[in-house]
Amino acid sequence: MHIGRGLWQVILITVLLTQGTVGMAFAAEAPLANNAATATVSLISSTQSADVINDGELGDRALQRSSARIGLIIVEVDNVFDPNDPRENSILYRAANALHIKTRRKTILTQLLFKEGDTYNRHALDESARNLRANSYLNEAEIKPVQYHADDNTVDVLVRVHDVWTFNPGIAYGRSGGTNHSGIQLAEGNLLGYGKSLSLQSNQDVDRTELGVSYSDPNLLSSRWQLTSMLIDASDGGTKQLSIAHPFFSLDTRWASLVSGLNEQRIDKRYQLGNLVDQYKTTHENYEAQLGWSNGLQDGWVHRWMGGFRVERFHYEPDPILGTIQLPQDKHLAYPWVGLQWLEDQYEVTHNRDQITRTEDVYYGRSLSVQIGESSAAFGSDHQADLLQLNFQDAWHVGERHSIFLTTGIDGQYQDNQWRDTFINTSLRYDYRRGPTGLFTMTFKSVYGIHLDPSLPLYLGDDDGNGEIGNGGLRGYPLHYRSGSHREVLNIEQRFYSNWQLLRLLTVGAVAFVDVGHIGGGGVNADDNQTLSDVGIGLRLGSIRSSKGEVFHINAAYPLNATGTQRKLQLQVLTKQSF
């Protein structure tokens, strides 16, 4: 679990606990409202036309039918704590607000999909709010019309957002899968209120120790261009990354582009029963340029065409200290590719799903994306291969309380009349909404590997197979516990949410869970077919005042297939982006 993610958060917790001004009391979170905003919303002009009023609110359909234009755009940025709430109107909370640099109006305006003078369109307002909520330095965003002027047929629009902590100096510590991971961080996720991100960090886990700096700018020079950069010096190598992109920032965006480069050196390791059995040095390079174009949003669908050129190299060397038992074969791929994407415009706003109390935008549409490339010696590749990436997603409501989400895809290459280094992925999730404070959810994830290289084993344990601990694995077992070429995992959870807040900083939730996993098949480091399972309970603390929407996890999991060397109870403490 992260300790001291925000300096002032630590000060607040420490002082409040020692002084006893708040103690361990819980309090319900107030809705996104304060007196200042209420005063603004109440400024409904008496000259407005009657047909734009619907139960006291400005009517979207009436505004669109009359081709009303957007007049004034009012931007309100709520500080981290609300001084109009008596529970947050103490000297400590006010001092914290005074030291926090609020998001600037220009930063918000740059991300809106409308401007003053545009024809009023509810869809543009909703999508803009969704884009704003995707920023780590905001935990809420609301956009709505507030004042209509009949004399010039214009409507004023209120854009209201809520800031969170973005300056995060602190110490991170966690334990999961029988291993510890720790780090020291100095990060600012909303630099001077301009939405830029700068981070200095030092991390240590079971595989490596690293020291790095990263910088990202989602609106370079107040444009739609994005800059991402990273420089990491690690105990087993390092990483250099630079990317400049103009994304499809909305469903109606007509073009996109990307230029990126990545160079990393690392020590890759193979495990059996959680124990290291082999390792080797990997040098990975990836360079890419791509373009995309679209006709925009038409009849609820978006069609996009993409193309580019990608160069990817993998070079392997024996470990300089311990040596290597089995070294993977070098790869050099260089190929042009083309792609298509179909995307349905279908989003829903909800709460208490993968976050606690925070607004969540859930995709309920249907999407399909395809990329096809051809690697050959003519482009500098060391072998001939056809490459395919295909992903499909869909979701359904079954009655008012039931939802199903399906994602499936294939990523691999066809070489020498057979599929190689190919993964077929499927994820099926079922949600049963038991009420505003309860959710029963089941997630089944399957990964099937075909003719995998020794550098691409699948693992079953307290991870997702890619070293992401606590992410769709078995919480009652160590990392990298079993290996093989295909893996199936079922996670069953009964989630409990609340509006209770600890010290006005953390929202409390809980979970009871069952994990079942199976791994088998041939391939490198394959074990005999085996099914493992565990049961457990956990506490969830949603960080509503800090960036990234992090959720602190404290789990106790009991493995049901324990061996003589396997601990009977696994304690898991970590931070994730979801419940």
Token digits of residue 355? 């976050």
pTM of the predicted model as reported, rounded to 2 decimal places: 0.84
pLDDT at 208: 64
Q: What is the mean pLDDT of the segment spanning 41-57?
A: 42
Q: What is the mean pLDDT of the segment spanning 92-104?
A: 90
Range in 439-448, 491-500, 553-562 with the lowest mean pLDDT: 553-562
CB 218 within 8 A of CB 194: no
Q: Write the single-letter amino acid at 384.
A: Q
Range in 33-47, 82-96, 391-405 with the lowest mean pLDDT: 33-47
CB 388 within 8 A of CB 414: yes
Q: What is the mean pLDDT of the segment spanning 523-530?
A: 53
Per-residue pLDDT reduced to its tens digit, 243-290? 999 999 999 999 999 999 999 998 888 877 767 788 889 999 999 999
Q: Write the single-letter amino acid at 489.
A: V
Per-residue pLDDT reduced to its tens digit, 77-95? 999 999 899 988 888 888 8
Q: Looking at the predicted structure, is the pLDDT value of residue 174 above 80? A: no
pLDDT at 57: 54
Q: What is the mean pLDDT of the segment spanning 444-471?
A: 73
Higher pLDDT, residue 322 or 280: 280
Q: CA nearest 239: which of 263, 203, 274? A: 263
Q: Looking at the predicted structure, is the pLDDT value of residue 185 above 90? A: no
Q: Looking at the predicted structure, is the pLDDT value of residue 166 above 90? A: no
Q: What is the mean pLDDT of the segment spanning 31-39?
A: 35
Q: Looking at the predicted structure, is the pLDDT value of residue 37 above 80? A: no
Beta strands in 376-470 (DSSP E): 385-398, 402-415, 418-435, 438-450, 458-460
Query: CB neighbours (10 Å) of residue 262?
Result: 16
For residues 215 and 194, what is the distance between their CA atoms, to the nearest angstrom? 13
Q: Looking at the predicted structure, is the pLDDT value of residue 562 above 80? A: no
CB 366 within 8 A of CB 393: yes
| β-strand pairing of 209-217 with 226-234 | antiparallel
pLDDT at 283: 94
Q: Looking at the predicted structure, is the pLDDT value of residue 147 above 60? A: yes
DSSP state of 546: B
Classify residue 165 by burial, with Cβ atoms within 10 Å: 0-12, 13-18, 19+. buried
Q: Looking at the predicted structure, is the pLDDT value of residue 220 above 70? A: yes
Q: What is the mean pLDDT of the segment spanning 506-526?
A: 82
Classify residue 320 by burial, with Cβ atoms within 10 Å: 0-12, 13-18, 19+. exposed
- CA 262, 263, 265, 269 torsion-angle sign: positive
Range in 64-73, 307-316, 468-477, 484-493 with the lowest mean pLDDT: 468-477
For residues 311 and 289, what is the distance between their CA atoms, to the nearest angstrom? 9
- The continuous run of DSSP H or E covering 36 comes out as helix 35-41
Residue reference for tokens 């077919």: 529
Beta strands in 190-225 (DSSP E): 197-204, 209-217
Per-residue pLDDT reduced to its tens digit, 401-452? 999 999 999 999 999 899 999 999 999 999 999 888 999 999 999 999 998 8
Mean pLDDT of all residues belonging to the chain:
83
Q: Looking at the predicted structure, is the pLDDT value of residue 172 above 60? A: no
Q: CA nearest 27: which of 101, 99, 81, 92? A: 81
pLDDT at 125: 96
